[in-house]
Every structure is written in structure tokens, then in C-alpha cells.
Amino acid sequence: MKKAIVTGADGLLGRRVVAALRAADYDVTGVDLDTLDITDFAAVRRMFADIAPDIAINCAAWTDVDGCARDPERALRVNGYGAQNVAVASALVSSAVVQISSNEVFDGQQTAPYREYDDTRAANPYGYSKLTAERGVVAVNPRHFIVRTAWLFDENGRNFIHAILNAAQSGKPLRVVTDEVATPTYNVDLATALVALVDSGRYGVYHLTNGGACSRYDFARHVLDCAGWHDTPITPITLADWPRDSTPPPHAVLANTSAAAIGITLRDWQSAVADFVRQHAP
């Protein structure tokens, strides 16, 4: 039985990855901040030496994008150098490593979807910390999977879908941007695709999102329609109307070119959102 370590195992994606790996008959050790701080290289190295995994999947990250903008050094320490610690420790025990990255390594200035080897230019401090992670992992462990994704949602924790539905139910006015475009991605689908990618043994850079693309406004409209809130109005606004500490890339759609070439694709985002709303709408 192959052994796996999943960091950030208590997070939204980490939980799904642990479950998907166990369903695929992996012996999984899931760790989170209370059991392993990935910024502590000595501790990471000891754990990897003790377990000697075949694969390490780094889901640990500081995902508060606005928080990263306020404290970019912490973002680098956790997202950038923490990821490098995991990659070095995995290399020392001849383990492959999966690094979860983001569409925000791109600046979102091109209208065409980004392919895996398009030039990166981070949109903000969060994106820069993720780009630092990518480069660090590639530099220290040749057996790497860099997996970029976007706009993750799941039933636990805070997510865009719950925010929209909660606002609609409470009668709060909805104002959603029309000029931020990417792809909503269901963690269930992403975790399944990650296990298939690991099992392929095809190292490299991959884009894994649900299929298609939409604006935040279109995303919100689809959520409300799936929940039966067809008459709930949404006021369209722009990013300039919604000031925040971090500036997201305006058009950072990811093209799944590499994974599709080996037969790994995810269903379209509309179907994924509809399934989620049916099962988990508050």
C-alpha cells in the first residue's frame, strides 16, 4: 500500500484529498498546524523521515488573500518557504510532491485562458507567495506536480456560494463584480482529479478547475437560480467599486491542457455548482 502525507488536512481541500486518497487505498497521514507547522523545517524533515511517504500533497496555505496583502512577509513564510520545506523533506526520502497553487500567479491581463507554461506574473502578494512556492518546489524536487486551481468551494467554512445564499435569505442587497473572471471549482472534483494525476506518475505543471469560465456576477446569478431564487436581483459592479486590500487578477481563466492530454478533466462549473447547491445550500 502506498503511503501519503497530506498537509493542511483539516482545511477545505485537505479533507477532500485525504478522503479521495483513502478511497484509492492509500495509507494516509493527515497533518495540520496543530500537528505540523510547515514553516518549521526540522519538524517537517523528522516527520517525513519517520513516515517515508511515496507522495506528499501540500494543501497547507494561508488563503486569506486580503490578509496576505496586509502581511506579505507572513504570506511568503507560510505559502512560499513552507511549501519549499515540504518539497525538500519529500526529496530527502525520495517522495514525489504535489504543490497546490493558484490562478493568481497570473496577472489576469490577457483575455485568453492561461496555459500551464504561459509566463507568470503574480497579481498580488498572495499570488507572489504561491509563485515563490512553485519555483521553490521545482528547484528542489524533480518529482513534482504543480497544480493551479481557482475559486474553490465546499460545504465547510466560508465560501462565495454560502455568502450569496445567506445574503439573499436575509434580504441583504447583492452587489457583485462583473469584471473578475475565472472558474468556480468544487473541491470534490478537484480531489478526485488530484489522485488520478498522482497515480499517472506524469510530473509537471497542471491546471485543474471545473470546465468553462464566468464572472463573479454570473457565478452568483447561477447560484441563486439553482437555489430557486430567480427573482432575487443582483446589482452589477466593477472591481473599482469594491475596494479591498488585495487586487485580484481580472481575467485569470486556466486552460486544462496538460491534464486533458492524459485523460484527466473535470465537469463544467455549472453542473458542479448545481450539485453543490442541491446538496448543501443553507
Q: Where are the domains of the chain?
A: 3-155+184-211+254-267
**Rounded to the nearest 5 degrees, what angle is found at the Cα of 136, between the Cα atoms of 95 and 25?**
30
What average pLDDT does the segment 106-119 reach? 97
Res 262 pLDDT > 70: yes
Rounded Cα gap, residues 11 and 32, in angstroms: 8
Instruction: Give the CATH architecture of domain 3-155+184-211+254-267.
Output: 3-Layer(aba) Sandwich (3.40)
Query: What DSSP letter does each residue of the chain carry, written as one string?
Result: --EEEEETTTSHHHHHHHHHHHHTT-EEEEE-TTT--TT-HHHHHHHHHHH--SEEEE------HHHHHH-HHHHIIIIIIHHHHHHHHHHHTT-EEEEEEEGGGS----SSPBPTTSPP--SSHHHHHHHHHHHHHHHH-SSEEEEEE-SEE-SSS--HHHHHHHHHHTT---EEESS-EE--EEHHHHHHHHHHHHHHT--EEEE---BS-EEHHHHHHHHHHHTT-TT---EEE-GGGS--SS---SB-PBP--HHHHTT----BHHHHHHHHHHHH--
Could you give the CA distance from residue 218 to residue 236 in angstroms, rounded to a whole number? 10
Return the pLDDT at 113: 98
Q: Please give the biggest Cα pair distance in the chain.
A: 57
pLDDT at 59: 98
Alpha-carbon gap, residue 100 to 79, rounded angstroms: 10
pLDDT category at 155 given cuts 50, 70, 90 is confident
Please write the tens of the pLDDT for every residue from 198-220.
999 999 999 999 999 999 999 99
Tens of pLDDT, residue by residue over 210-256, are 999 999 999 999 999 999 999 999 999 999 999 999 999 999 999 99
Whole-model pTM over 0.95 = yes
Contacts of 13 (CB under 8 A, 6+ apart): 59, 100, 152, 154, 187, 190, 191
Better-scored residue on pLDDT, 60 or 155: 60
Tell me, what's the pLDDT at 282?
Answer: 61
- Res. 52 pLDDT band, cuts 50 70 90: very high
Closest CA to 72 of 121, 126, 33, 23: 126
37 pLDDT higher than 90: yes
Instruction: Indicate whether 168 pLDDT > 80.
Output: yes
Higher pLDDT, 282 or 145: 145
92 pLDDT band (50/70/90 cuts)?
A: very high
Mean pLDDT of 129-137: 98
pLDDT digits (tens, 9 = 90+) for 181-190: 999 999 999 9
Query: Residue type for 206, please?
Result: Y
Q: What's the N-to-C CA distance of the chain in angstroms?
A: 39
Q: How confident is the model at residue 109 (pLDDT cuts 50, 70, 90)?
A: very high
- For residue 156, name the pLDDT band (cuts at 50, 70, 90): confident
pLDDT of residue 158: 76
Closest CA to 68 of 119, 7, 123: 123
Q: At residue 157, does pLDDT exceed 80?
A: no
pLDDT higher than 80, residue 95: yes
Given a cut of 70, whether residue 54 has pLDDT beyond it is yes
How many whole angstroms separate alpha carbon 183 and alpha carbon 87?
28
Instruction: Point out the residues that are catalytic.
Output: 126
- Beta pairing class for 235-237 and 185-186: unpaired
